[in-house]
């Protein structure tokens, strides 16, 4: 079972949440938004804006739920660019989903961008969900725990240790950017596993 980023957030903020065994097909603009982020970092603002407009130009995105999703994706991209523009670090985009494994669980460890400076790395994950409030420091650490673990598996070992320094968690609906230190995310991992095992139970 792959536990999605949404499942992770729900398990953290809602103790009664249980991961559904089956999921109905639901329309989503998330993949369009994530690709627009990658284009922003590789080709610039104009390419990212052009892509999201063309990708969401179809009839399915013009009315009802589709129109709402398209509007939110555009606003999320605007918020992301506003937060990212002042950052001068080298950014490498991530083109595949990452998972870390604990027992029978496959836990999403996705980041949108890896930022490099002075031989160290920071992962960045953008959250588009609207929770109605900012995440607390302990919740941010739990959310950052799996992505940190994934980056450590990818970047460290052999000659390179302790080069992954932190995970940035951006809550785009609130235009809020937080940095979770490596030590805090590592310390939160056992607690995250408990949350996820509870949420995955029947």
Whole-model pTM: value is 0.93
Provide the pLDDT confidence category of residue 96 given band limits of 50, 70 and 90. confident
* Alpha-carbon gap, residue 134 to 171, rounded angstroms: 8
Residue of 108, 101, 182, 111 lying closest to 141 (CA atoms) = 182
Interval 97-147: pLDDT, tens: 899 999 999 999 999 999 999 889 999 999 999 888 999 999 999 999 999
Share of the chain above pLDDT 70, in %: 99
**Where does the pLDDT of residue 22 fall: very low under 50, low under 70, confident under 90, or very high at 90 and above?**
confident
pLDDT at 202 over 80: no
Q: What is the pLDDT of residue 183?
A: 98
Is the confidence at residue 173, as pLDDT, over 80? yes
Query: In Å, what is the CA distance from 161 to each residue of 15, 29, 114, 152?
Result: 35, 37, 16, 8
119 vs 185 pLDDT, higher one: 185
Structure confidence by residue, pLDDT tens digits, 30-45: 999 999 999 999 999 9
The range of the structural domain enclosing residue 68 comes to 2-16+24-200
Distance from C-alpha of 39 to C-alpha of 33, rounded to nearest angstrom? 10
pLDDT of residue 27: 78
DSSP 8-state assignment for residue 173: G
pLDDT band for position 69 (cuts 50, 70, 90):
very high
List phi, psi (to 5°) of 124: -125, 130
Going by pLDDT thresholds of 50, 70 and 90, the confidence category of residue 190 is very high
**CATH number of 176's domain:** 3.90.320
Residues 123/134, Cβ–Cβ less than 8 Å: no
Higher-pLDDT residue of 181 and 104 is 181
Q: Distance between CA 34 and CA 94 in Å, rounded? A: 10
Q: Report the C-alpha gap between 101 and 200 in whole angstroms.
A: 14
Crossing angle between the packed helical segments 5-13 and 182-200, to the nearest 10 degrees:
90
- According to DSSP, the residues that pair with 127 across neighbouring strands are 171
Looking at residues 58-87, what average pLDDT do you find? Answer: 96
Q: What is the mean pLDDT of the chain?
A: 94
The total number of structural domains that make up the chain: 1
Query: Which residues are registered as beta bridge partners of 101?
Result: 106
Which range has highest mean pLDDT (24-38, 67-81, 91-105)? Answer: 67-81
């Amino acid at each position: 079972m792959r536990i999605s980023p949404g499942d992770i957030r729900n398990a953290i903020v809602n103790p009664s949440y249980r991961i559904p065994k089956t999921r109905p097909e639901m329309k989503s603009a998330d993949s369009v938004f994530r690709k627009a982020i990658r284009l922003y970092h590789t080709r610039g603002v104009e390419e990212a804006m052009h892509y999201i407009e063309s990708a969401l130009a179809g009839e399915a995105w013009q009315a009802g739920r589709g129109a709402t999703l398209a509007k939110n994706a555009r606003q999320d991209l605007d918020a992301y660019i506003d937060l990212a523009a002042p950052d001068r670090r080298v950014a490498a985009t991530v083109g595949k989903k990452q998972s870390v494994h604990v027992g029978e669980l496959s836990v999403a460890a996705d980041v949108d961008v890896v930022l490099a400076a002075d031989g160290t790395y920071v992962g960045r994950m953008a959250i588009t969900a609207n929770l109605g409030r900012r995440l607390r420091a302990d919740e941010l650490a739990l959310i950052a725990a799996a992505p940190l673990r994934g980056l450590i598996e990818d970047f460290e070992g052999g000659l390179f240790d302790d080069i992954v320094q932190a995970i940035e968690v951006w809550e785009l609906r609130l235009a809020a950017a937080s940095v979770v230190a490596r030590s805090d995310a590592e310390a939160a991992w056992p607690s995250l596993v408990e949350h996820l095992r509870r949420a995955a139970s029947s």
